[in-house]
Every structure is written in C-alpha cells, then in structure tokens.
Amino acid sequence: MRNEEVAGAELADGASRHADDSRGSGRRLMQSSTPIYDLVVIGSGMAGLAAARYAVDNGLENVVVVEGRERIGGRTFTVPLNISLPADAPAPAAIDLGAAWIHGVGNANTAPNPMVSLSTKAGLPVLKVTARDESFGPQGLPDSDAWDKAYTAMSEEFPDYLERYADGDVASMRPNDRDSVNNVLGRFVAERRPPLTQLQKDALIQYVQTEFVLEYADDLSQLSARYIYEDRNWGGPDALPGRGFSALVRHLSAGLDIRLRSKVDVLDYSFTRPEAQRRYVLVSGTNTSTGRPFTLAAKYVINTMPLGYLQAQLTKPAPNLFRPALRPAQSAAIMSFGMGLLQKVILVWPDASWWEELITTPWVAIRNPAQPGAFSEYYNLAATPAELPVLICFNGGSIARNVEASMNDSAIVSRALAPLQRLLAPSGRRLPPPAQALVTRWGADPWTRGAYSFIKAGARANARAAAFAPLAGGRLLFAGEHTHADYPSTVHGAYLSGLGAAEAVVDALADR
C-alpha cells in the first residue's frame, strides 16, 4: 500500500498525538495529520481489553481498541433475565451466554486466579461453587448404586489409561500425534480385563460425553489423545463471577479508547519488506454501521481475533487478512487446531420451587441412551450460591453443531424441556412452562465461529508457538485464549495472553 492511500482513507478520529518518527512514510503520515498509534488492539474480548488496559496503565498514551461487534466483551456476555428476584437475592437476574465459570479460583499452592484478583480490584463478588452432581436414568428415576459405582470406576480408569498412553506406558499403543481420544477409548475397552459389562460401557459413554465432549467442546474423534492433558488447571474450586463476566469486562474497559462496529479486514505488515517506505502496521477495515472504510497506522498491533475467525479467513478462496500472506507453515499450524462448540439452552422460571426437592446438586445428568450426550447435562443455578431459578442444558461438539444448524429456538427449547418433564413423570406432575428461554449459537456467530479452541488430533501441542508467532519482527502479535499454552479455552488464559502481548509491546517501546 502506498502512503497516499493511508492519507486518503478515513482515519481514526479524535487522536491528536502523533508519532515522533520522522522517517519514510512516518513523515508523510505526520504531515497528513494521521495519528500513528503506539498500539492498536483488535478485539475487545478479555484478551484485547487486558492488553489495552496493561498498555495504558504502563504509560502508553496512544492506544486504541477496534471491535467489530456493537458491544465489548466478545465471548463474555452477561444478559438480564425477565424475572424479578427478592430484594435480598444473592445475585442479580442475569446470565452469562458465553463464559460462566472462573475455572479454579486458586488454592494454597497457586496465586489467585487473575479473574479473582480482577474481581477483588473491581469490588465484585466471586461465588465459589462445588462440582456435586447427580444422575437420573432415561425414565427420570434416580440412577441406582450399581450405576454410580460403574460411573465412578470409569471416571477413574479411563483418564488413568489416557494419561498412561500419553506417557508412553501403554505397551500396545505408542503415543502418536494423530491419535484421537476415541482411538484410545477403543483400545481401553479392548484391553480392559475383565471385559467391561454393559452397565460399565454405558457409564463410560456417559462419562466421556460429559467430561470430554462438553469440557473440550468437540467429539472424541477430534480431540488429540496425546495432548489432551497439556493444558493446566489453575487449582481450587470453580466460581461464578457474582455479577457476571460483563461486569469484569466493564471494569477493565473503563477509560479505554474503544471503537465499536469497526471490522478489521486487512493487516498490512508489508513495511518489513526492503522496498517499503514506512515503518508501521496498517490496520484497515470497515465501519459496519456506515460502510465507510478506515485505516489506522500503528507501531504495534495485537490481534485477538478468535481461532474460528482466523481459520475462516485463512480458508477463504482468496485470503487477504494478512498482507503479505502468512507463510504456509504458520497458516497450516493455525489450521491444525480445533475450534469446538458448546451450546447452552438457558431455561428460566420465576422460582425454583418445582425442582428444588428433586434436583439438589449443581450438576444433573438425565441420561439419553438413544443419543448419548444430547440434551442430557444440566447446570442447576438454584443449587449454587447465586440461587437463580435457572437450569442450563448443554450440548457439545457435532451434536451442538447439528442442533444449531437444523433446529429453530423453539424446537431446541422443547428438546431441552423434555428430559425435565420425565423427571416429574414418576410423581405425575406437569412441568410448568419456563418464563424465559435463551438459546446460544456461538457456532453461527460470525465473530467467533465456535466456542473455544482445543488441540485437534493431528496437531502438535507446541504448534501454538509456530501458529501464533509474532510477525514483522514483533510488531504484529497474536493474543487470545487460543494462543495461551497453559490455560487455553478459558477467560483467564485469554486475559493472560493479552497481558503477555502488551508487556512485550511496552518493553519494546521502552527499549527504542
């Protein structure tokens, strides 16, 4: 791109500070009153906001966040519920459509989870939860002790086998990047002595659907067996952010220069080419309300576009997000990761009276042998410190993709209600209709195209370093949950990735 094009594009308004660089196109940009940003952050999710916050708090004055949506927060999004709660209710009538739990608040061996620290700083409550669960059979009756015993055995034996496989301790199956969890599951079943009973097989299927498909948000055939346990747990119990994740996001965003409805289309880092006349990354895009183009020039750019979004760009017939195009090895590394899908069907009643005595734990499984894992796992917010009259039904992986693609909201809600009606059947009661129902569709969401990343069978865990290596000598960096080696797929991983990238920028600018 030539300098004139920069001057001719619609430029960011309001910024009055200009770069002190007087060489090459920097001079031209100054002359045309184009602000040269120290840092442009793409995306206002947890990673982007953490990056911008850190940069501003550490002295960078010239920082802007560009966000394609009309709201901040990305995959954290708390919405109000249409119910009124008693004045002394412990949590507001609101629900998180995306991330909901702080995974591991920390324990004696770890620092507090960054989301806990952020909550403390913001004066926001954190509600610790337990993972207690109960399970009902397909007819709505509580599962037998024999079932519980089989389930407990499988929940110990299979993860143990999978870990031994990854450590190279399963003689018949050497660890291989291409192996999926499904392959190892097959071997486990074949080698188990004595052979699994039918009850144990059923319990194993129920266990893997809950602990793998919903946890990693994709099918067993997609999940890498070798690297499934590569990510780390923060430690300590999980918690709910007491006012929802959006309250944390609002706190982080205070005072930042955020441009909403600004869709970035091209990241031009061609200045690294010998013939280039300028020293800036150009961020070009479109204002989605007005349709007008914009171009921002930045010394540093942190790109937090989600993995699903990046992959969709890279697989276009003529990819043009990156100029110059990414090297094939980097592009292939990005494509080698998986973007899973988790769907929530949020069912809200005025109060929890109809189920309070029936379901007493936060987690509830209502088994569905006809289609294991489909509309079968529920989270009961009434049994958490939030005490909300809400049940959330989850679908994951290809089940969630098929449901999103083929069913309308009312059909999805009916499917999620049917197992609950079965719980009431033994007592002859009818399920009261919910006051409100919300269905998430993160797979169809054009800004993320999925819920969160996972290591796909065939990928290498350490491919993250190659996939998200900074470009342009460190001027164009990647951040976001998908880039964090230890805590991918989480809000705190996203946050830490943003901090890490911003720290690199602040340090580099200080050294110049």
- Is residue 113 a contact point for ligand FAD (CB under 6 A)? no
Contact pattern for ligand FAD over residues 80 through 99, marking x by CB under 6 A: ------------------xx
Applying CB under 6 A, the span of 4-12, 15-23, 36-44, 192-200 interacting with ligand FAD comes to: 36-44
Minimum CB separation from ligand FAD for residue 45, in Å?
Answer: 2
**Contact 297/352 with Cβ under 8 angstroms?**
no
Kindly determine how many residues on this chain lie close enough to bind ligand FAD according to the rule CB under 6 A: 39
Minimum CB separation from ligand FAD for residue 181, in Å?
Answer: 20
Residue 193 in tokens: 């002595």
- Is residue 46 a contact point for ligand FAD (CB under 6 A)? yes
DSSP state of 219: -
Q: Which of residues 54-83 bind ligand FAD (CB under 6 A)?
A: 66-69, 74-76
448 Cβ contact list (under 8 Å, min separation 6): 74, 75, 306, 308, 309, 442
Applying CB under 6 A, the span of 9-17, 106-114, 136-144, 447-455 interacting with ligand FAD comes to: 447-455
Q: Is 278 helix (H, G, I), strand (E, B) or coil?
A: coil
C-alpha to C-alpha distance for 62 and 55, rounded to whole angstroms: 9
Using CA atoms in the order 439, 440, 441, 442, what is the torsion angle rounded to 10 degrees?
Answer: -170
Cβ proximity to ligand FAD: between 42 and 457 the closer is 42
Neighbours of 80 (CB within 10 A): 10
C-alpha to C-alpha distance for 140 and 387, rounded to whole angstroms: 24
Cβ proximity to ligand FAD: between 270 and 288 the closer is 288
- Is residue 264 a contact point for ligand FAD (CB under 6 A)? yes
Alpha-carbon Rg for the chain, nearest whole angstrom, is 25
Supply the DSSP string of 39-80, one letter for each residue. Answer: EEEE--SHHHHHHHHHHHHTT---EEEE-SSSSS-TT--EEE
Task: Out of 490, 496, 501, 505, name the contact with ligand FAD by CB under 6 A.
Answer: 490
- Is residue 25 a contact point for ligand FAD (CB under 6 A)? no
Applying CB under 6 A, the span of 38-46, 126-134, 168-176, 415-423 interacting with ligand FAD comes to: 38-46
Looking at the DSSP assignment, which residues form a beta bridge with residue 437? 347
**Contact 19/299 with Cβ under 8 angstroms?**
yes
Cβ proximity to ligand FAD: between 325 and 425 the closer is 325
Task: Out of 342, 496, 499, 501, name the contact with ligand FAD by CB under 6 A.
Answer: 342
Q: Which of residues 454-473 bind ligand FAD (CB under 6 A)?
A: none
Q: How far is CA 451 from CA 167, 487, 511, in A?
A: 29, 15, 38
- Is residue 259 a contact point for ligand FAD (CB under 6 A)? no
Applying CB under 6 A, the span of 122-130, 149-157, 468-476, 484-492 interacting with ligand FAD comes to: 484-492
Q: Is 108 helix (H, G, I), strand (E, B) or coil?
A: coil
- Is residue 38 a contact point for ligand FAD (CB under 6 A)? no
Inter-axis angle of helices 198-208 and 181-191, to 10 degrees?
160
Q: Is 428 helix (H, G, I), strand (E, B) or coil?
A: coil
- Is residue 396 a contact point for ligand FAD (CB under 6 A)? no
Contact set with ligand FAD (CB under 6 A): 42-48, 66-69, 74-76, 98-101, 103, 263-264, 304-306, 309, 342, 344, 440, 442, 447-448, 451-452, 480-481, 489-491, 494
